[in-house]
Amino acid sequence: MNLYIWLFLLGLARVQAAIQCNSSSSCPEEAPCCSQFGECGTGGYCLGGCNPQFSYNYKSCMAMPICKDTNTKFNKYRSKVLDKDTYLGNASAGDWAYSGYLMDYEDEESLLLAMPKDSSGTVLSSTRYVWYGKISARMKTSHRSGVVSAFILFSNVEDEVDNEWVGSDLNNVQTNYYFEGTLNYTHSRNSSANQTFSNFHTYEIDWREDKLMWLVDGKVGRTLYKNSTYNHTTKRYDYPQTPSRVQISLWPGGNSTNTNGTIAWAGGKIDWDASDLKNPGYYYMTLNEVNISCYDPPSYAKKNGSQAYSFTSDTSFLSQNVALTDDQSMLYSSEGSGLEPKLGKDNDTSSKGSSKATSTRATSSSLASGASTAFIQNINSGKSSSNSKNGGRVINKPGVLTLLTLILSCVV
C-alpha cells in the first residue's frame, strides 16, 4: 500500500474516531483543542473557533490576533484569501481565510461565495479578531428557500452577533445575538432591506461595550443595550463581549439532513436542482467590500502586550477575563497547540511528512459530508466552466483534491 493512501486512510479513521468536546467533557492533553464543531485536535483546531471552555485548558487555544483597521475591496481578491486547511495562524499573511468555494466575479468587482449542489457552502473568516468595532459589508445575498446567507461576529466562546438572510425572504435581515452560545428564541428581530439578492446594500454591525447596533445603508434597524441583558440569576450581562472574528457565509439551512426546525426557519427545503445550479452552477452570494474599524479595548482591560487577545481565566470567559498580550497566535505545524506552539519548528524533514497527514485529519471533519461530492463537483464544473458566472469555476479545496488525485493516480 502506498504511503499516501495509508496516511489518508489513517486520517479518515481518526476523523471517524474524533473525540468530542462539550460542556460536560473537555479535550484530553494529546488532542487539547476543542474546535467550533465540538471535536478535539491540534493545529487548526487551536486557531479560530477554538473554544477554551471545553479545551484541555484555556491555554490550549492560540492567542487571538489583535484587531486592525482594514478596508477590503474584494476585486480580484480570490488569490489573496488564505486556505483554512493550511492556515496556521499567521494573520500578517492575509486578512481573510476560507473554506468552501470562492471565485472572482470581475463584472461586479466582487468575490462570490458559492454553494454547489449538496455541498455545505462557504465560510470566509477574518484572520484577526475584533474586540469592539464597527464592521460594514457591501454585499448581495443569495436567494431561494433553504439557502442562508450570513454576516456575523463569532467569538471562541460563542458570543455571536448575527445578520442572516433566508433566501425565501429577500426583504428582511434577521438580526440576532447570543451570549456564550445560549439559545434563546426570543432574541431575533427583523430589519427591512429591499430585494437583497438583486441589490447591493451596506450592512453594518456597530459593536460597543455598552450597546450594539445593526444598520442597513446607514440607518439603524436595531439597538441592543448591554444594560438590558442583565441576568439576575447569574449576575452577569448576557451580552456578546469577547473578541470575535468576522464571518461571511453561505450555507444550506434547508438541507434535508438538518432538523425540521432549522429547515422551517430557513424557509423550507433547498431545491438542489434550481436554475442557479445549472447556470452559473451553484448558489452564490456576492461580496463587494468589507470595512473593519476597531474600537479601543475596554479601559479596564489588562495590558501585557499589543499583538493579541488572550483569555486569562480557566473558569470565566467574560470581557473582564480578556487581556492584551504578546502571546503566540501562530503555530509551526499542524501538530502544535497553545501548549506547544513551536512544535514542528526547525525540524523539517521529519515533521513535513507527518504534518501532511495531520493537516488532513485536522480539516477532513469540516468536509466530512462532502469530500467526494466536492471532488466530483470539481470535475463537473471543469467541464461546464463556460456556463459559470464570468467564466469562473468552482475551485476546490486543494489539499484534499491533491490527496484524492494522488490516490486515484496510485490506484489507476
Ligand X SMILES: *[C@@H]1O[C@H](CO)[C@@H](O)[C@H](O)[C@H]1NC(C)=O
Residues of the shown chain interacting with ligand X in the complex, contacts defined by CB under 6 A: 19-20, 22, 24-25, 71, 90, 92-93, 118, 120, 136, 138, 169, 172, 174, 182, 184, 186, 188-190, 194-195, 198-199, 202, 225, 227-228, 231, 233-234, 238, 252, 255-257, 260, 289, 291, 304-305, 326, 342-343, 347, 350, 369
Phi/psi region, residue 263 (left: phi>0; alpha: psi -120 to 50; beta: rest), is alpha
| Residue owning grid cell 512544535 | 343
Nearest approach, Cβ of residue 73 and ligand X (Å): 9
**259 vs 119, 226, 256, 333, 373, CA distance in Å?**
17, 32, 8, 37, 22
Q: Tell me if 280 sits within 8 A of 393, measured CB to CB.
A: no
93 or 410: CB nearest ligand X: 93
Catalytic residue among 158, 164, 180, 289: 164
Q: What is the dihedral of CA 100, 253, 112, 358, to 10 degrees?
A: -10
C-alpha distances (whole Å) from 30 to each of 1, 302, 346 are 28, 31, 21
Catalytic residue check, 39: no
Beta carbon of residue 265, minimum distance to ligand X (angstroms, whole number):
8
Closer to ligand X by Cβ: residue 264 or 410: 264
Residues 6 or more apart whose CB falls under 8 angstroms from that of 38 comprise 20, 21, 22, 54
Residue 280: is the preceding peptide bond cis (ω within 30°)? yes
The residue among 107 and 348 lying less far from ligand X, judged by its C-beta, is: 348
Shortest CB 410 distance to ligand X, Å: 26
By beta-carbon proximity to ligand X, the closer residue of 208 and 409 is 208
Rounded to an integer, what distance in angstroms lies between the CA atom of residue 35 and that of residue 41? 7
Return the beta strands (E) in 295-373 as ranges. 302-304, 308-311, 322-325
Minimum CB–partner distance for residue 369 and ligand X (Å): 4
Residue 378 dihedral angles phi and psi, to the nearest 5°: -65, -40
29 given a catalytic annotation: no
Which strand (E) or helix (H) includes residue 284? Answer: strand 283-294
Q: Between 5 and 368, name the residue whose CB sits nearer to ligand X.
A: 368
Backbone phi and psi for residue 120, each to the nearest 5 degrees, phi listed first? -100, 15
Q: Active-site residue among 39, 108, 158, 160?
A: 160
Q: Which is nearer to ligand X, 174 or 378 (CB)?
A: 174
Q: Smallest gap, in angstroms, from Cβ of residue 79 to ligand X?
A: 13
Active site residues: 160, 164
